Structure 1
């Protein structure tokens, strides 16, 4: 089983002297080591987000797949770290140099649609009394996706037709 420890990043990084709008500059504001993803500590999430931002196409896709497994397992099971990760996913989706923007939008849509724990708790209310607040994590994650829906208009104006298509699907999900 892969370790949840952060790895040394061998991916491209922004050039020295990059302008103040450097992506992901607020990652350190999140206490990643104090929250959990599906593999344990969420400490690896900043590394994965940076790899998505600066990696080549294959590396970025692999990092996004790992991230997906950590914050939205099976496409519908969110974790404690999901809501904290969502704003960074929106940020990456807006950057033209990010090679997997379509997949990022699909991940955001999956998070917005996640209701696994909520539905289970409706049938088994005892789930609400557990130490892990799965229902709350799910709601927080959906709210985090909705909080950045103003980004949709920008993405719908992109020249990439596949990006526009999945963004329109996300917009429909958020309109429900």
Structure 2
């Protein structure tokens, strides 16, 4: 009995792509998730214990799963696109890892979330009008500052992403502007 020939794609391009990806992607993505005391941190829903699961879904899920997980994560750590939570700063390094992973299906959205966090100043602006906010046991102004600083530590990330007109390239340019206010002043 004859069978149809099996198509065997060339591995030359894939091997080249994998070599290039290993140069910028972490060897073991999201390895440090277990080192963060997530249940002790707060997100917009209360305990941040679900954040590792959401990050893993973004990293390893298919497009619909990753997009849904990113939407939920965004609501938890940067609600409305400008209100950060206590767990936001701890989440930022993992978002940077996801932005570097070529197999992550929602990389542009991850990079845009980082840009939103970099711009977040809702609590700080509110505290300037209502200074008593700074006296609360939970200090959202400190959370916001820590989150912005965590994103600022990623200054080199836009250079590791495409600098073209792709959706990811545009998101990287957005993040670069958020990290360098001099770029937006011009």
* Distance in 2 of aligned mates of 1:87 and 1:120: 27
TM-score when scaled to structure 1?
A: 0.86
Given that residues 36 and 81 in structure 1 are in contact (C-alpha distance below 8 angstroms), is that contact kept between their aligned partners in structure 2?
yes
* Structure 1 gaps, min length 5: 1-19
1:172 to 143, 157, 177: 177
Given that residues 36 and 42 in structure 1 are in contact (C-alpha distance below 8 angstroms), is that contact kept between their aligned partners in structure 2?
yes
Number of residues of Structure 1 aligned to a counterpart in Structure 2 = 156
**Structure label with greater radius of gyration:** 2
Kindly report the root-mean-square deviation, in angstroms, between the aligned alpha carbons of the 2 structures: 1.2
TM-score when scaled to structure 2?
A: 0.81
* Distance in 2 of aligned mates of 1:173 and 1:54: 28
1:29 to 23, 28, 35: 35
4+ residue runs over 4 A deviation: none
* Distance in 1 of aligned mates of 2:134 and 2:154: 28
1:114 to 120, 127, 133: 120
* Structure 2 gaps, min length 5: 1-25, 182-186
* Distance in 2 of aligned mates of 1:107 and 1:151: 13
* Distance in 1 of aligned mates of 2:154 and 2:111: 12
| 1:71-127 superposed Cα distances (whole Å, 9 cap, x missing partner) | 000000000000000000000000000000010011001100000000000000000
